[in-house]
Every structure is written in structure tokens, then in C-alpha cells.
Amino acid sequence: MAKIIIPTPLRKFTDNKSSFITNATTVGNAIQDLAKSYEPLAKHLYDDQLNLRSFLRIYLGEDDINLLEKSETLISENDVISIVPAIAGGSNSKIIYQARNY
């Protein structure tokens, strides 16, 4: 059985559980298995076309599955799958600073 580590921001949709154990044999099926077990989580994992959301990456161990066989990547007993959200941002292009209290 493989383990999926659920990222902190999505744990409110998994009853606060940080991991999920699956019997699936591919990464894609493992993520689907998770989404079926926690229905409110599904819309945060998949878009309307049921593709994995663009801001999420899936890792098998230390490897991005996009560099392996993507969702068809086979998993073995004791593998660890991680769902990794993109973290980014930044200020607006125009400098808008005005001194104020802090």
C-alpha cells in the first residue's frame, strides 16, 4: 500500500488527516481514490474537465511524475506520493507605496 501526503491547505477537506493509504497501482488511480474518499476535496484536485488542477504537482518520492509516466506512473508498496501546490505571488508592477502607520 502506498501513502499520499496531503498538503496542509487541503486538509480541511480530509477531516484534518495528513495522509491517506491507497491500494491503487498507479499514481493517477491513487489520487482518484483519495478524491472519492473525500468528496469535497475533488473540486480542489480536478478542474471541470477532470484534469488535475494546473497549480498542483504530484511527486512520487522526490520525483515529479511529469518526468516519469505522469498519471500512469506505477507505484509500489511503501511508496510516498505528495500533492504539492504552487506557491507564488508578488507585489503589483507599479510602485504604489505611501508611508503610513505600521
Partner 1 sequence: MKTVIKISNRIIKELIQDAESSYPNEACGFLYGADASIRSIVHFEPVINSQEGDQRRRFEISTLDYLKTERRALDTGLDLLGIYHSHPDHEAIASSHDLEKALPFFSYVIVSVLKGKAEQIYSWRLFDRYRSFYQEELLIENLIISPNK
CB 42 to partner 1: min, Å: 15
From residue 25 to residue 64, the character string flagging contacts with partner 1 as x (rule: CB under 8 A) and all else as - is ------------------------------x-x-x--x-x
Give which of 62, 56, 55 is closest to 79, Cα–Cα.
Answer: 62
Q: Give CA–CA dist 102/65, Å, rounded.
A: 44
Our finding on whether 87 is near partner 1 (CB under 8 A) is yes
Determine phi and psi for 76, rounding to 5 degrees. Answer: -120, 170
Determine phi and psi for 20, rounding to 5 degrees. Answer: -145, 135
Return residues touching partner 1 (CB under 8 A).
Answer: 5, 7-12, 18-19, 55, 57, 59, 62, 64, 82, 84-93, 95-100, 102
